[in-house]
Amino acid sequence: MTALALKGLYKEYRLPGRQVAALAGVDLAVAAGSLVTIVGRSGCGKTTLLRIIGGLEKQSAGEVAFDPPGARIAMVFQEPRLMPWLTVEQNLALVMRDQPPDEIKRTVGRYLDMLGLGGFKAAYPSQLSGGMAQRAALGRALCYNADIILMDEPLGALDAFTRRNLQEELVAIFLKHNKTILFVTHDIDEALILGQRVLVMADGRITAEVAVPFPYPRDAAGEPFYKLRAGLLASLTSPPAQRGV
């Protein structure tokens, strides 16, 4: 089953004296319950793509279709974006407002424990480290019980160790809850550790795709990844075409 289908997606930004084609024709079908990673040079349109899928931005042309049509979508950004005046627990509870209080407490507690934040329920975001705040933001996306989670370099600002831990947690959550996840990253190893498919974007288009047929948990240092990594590197380092309309 296809959870998300993009057809001829096009996005043009008008800047003074110039137009930028941030997306220049994206077609994509994402299977329900799959984890797709997206890599690409800075400025190739990854964030624009996620923002349009998430409804934060309107495409200039093309279609975004969800199945089911009212699919719940959560977004995790590169920085945590927690509400500074709410505690960690309240930040997560906020997205569950329409549910019974005991259900909220149980769910929030479960995810905070899973993400190693059980002891920080009453802390405010300013009292957390960057990695802890990012884990809280991930917990908030999970509490929202989204069908589709869009992640825009959520681990980019973290140290290698915390990043590795969170990659493992994300895989565990993905396997357990069977979410559909679109995950943008600059890191090829991260894309290969997480993605069942890795999409390469360049100049507003998807220019290559690599299937990663290995079971989780994965070790990107393992031999099967050599060839995939080399292929991805080659498609990422080919010279960018001149963009602009």
Ligand X SMILES: Nc1ncnc2c1ncn2[C@@H]1O[C@H](COP(=O)(O)OP(=O)(O)OP(=O)(O)O)[C@@H](O)[C@H]1O
Indicate the residue among 20 and 96 with the shorter CB distance to ligand X: 20
43 binds ligand X (CB under 6 A): yes
Helical spans, DSSP H, in the chain: 46-53, 88-93, 101-114, 130-143, 160-177, 188-194, 224-237
Indicate the residue among 34 and 47 with the shorter CB distance to ligand X: 47
Peptide bond into 217 cis (omega under 30): yes
Indicate the residue among 45 and 125 with the shorter CB distance to ligand X: 45
- Least Cβ distance, residue 232 to ligand X (angstroms): 15
185 binds Mg ion (CB under 5 A): no
Dihedral sign computed on CA atoms, order 46, 47, 50, 56: negative
Indicate the residue among 112 and 232 with the shorter CB distance to ligand X: 232
From 44-52, 65-73, 98-106, 121-129, give the range in contact with ligand X by CB under 6 A: 44-52
45 binds ligand X (CB under 6 A): yes
Among 47, 59, 107, 180, binds Mg ion (CB under 5 A): 47
Helical spans, DSSP H, in 15-159: 46-53, 88-93, 101-114, 130-143
By CB under 6 A, the count of residues binding ligand X is: 12
20 binds ligand X (CB under 6 A): yes
- The CA-atom distances, in angstroms, between 227 and each of 94, 217, 244 are 44, 19, 33
Helices 130-143/101-114 angle, 10° precision: 140
Say how many C-beta atoms besides its own lie within 10 A of residue 170's C-beta. Answer: 23
CB 30 within 8 A of CB 2: yes
59 binds Mg ion (CB under 5 A): no
Among 3, 24, 36, 46, binds ligand X (CB under 6 A): 46
Among 34, 37, 47, 87, binds ligand X (CB under 6 A): 47
From 39-47, 123-131, 162-170, 226-234, give the range in contact with ligand X by CB under 6 A: 39-47
42 binds ligand X (CB under 6 A): yes
CB 36 within 8 A of CB 197: yes
By CB under 5 A, the count of residues binding Mg ion is: 1
What's the CA gap between 245 and 242, in Å, rounded? 10
Binding interface with ligand X (CB under 6 A): 13, 15, 20, 22, 40, 42-48
Binding interface with Mg ion (CB under 5 A): 47
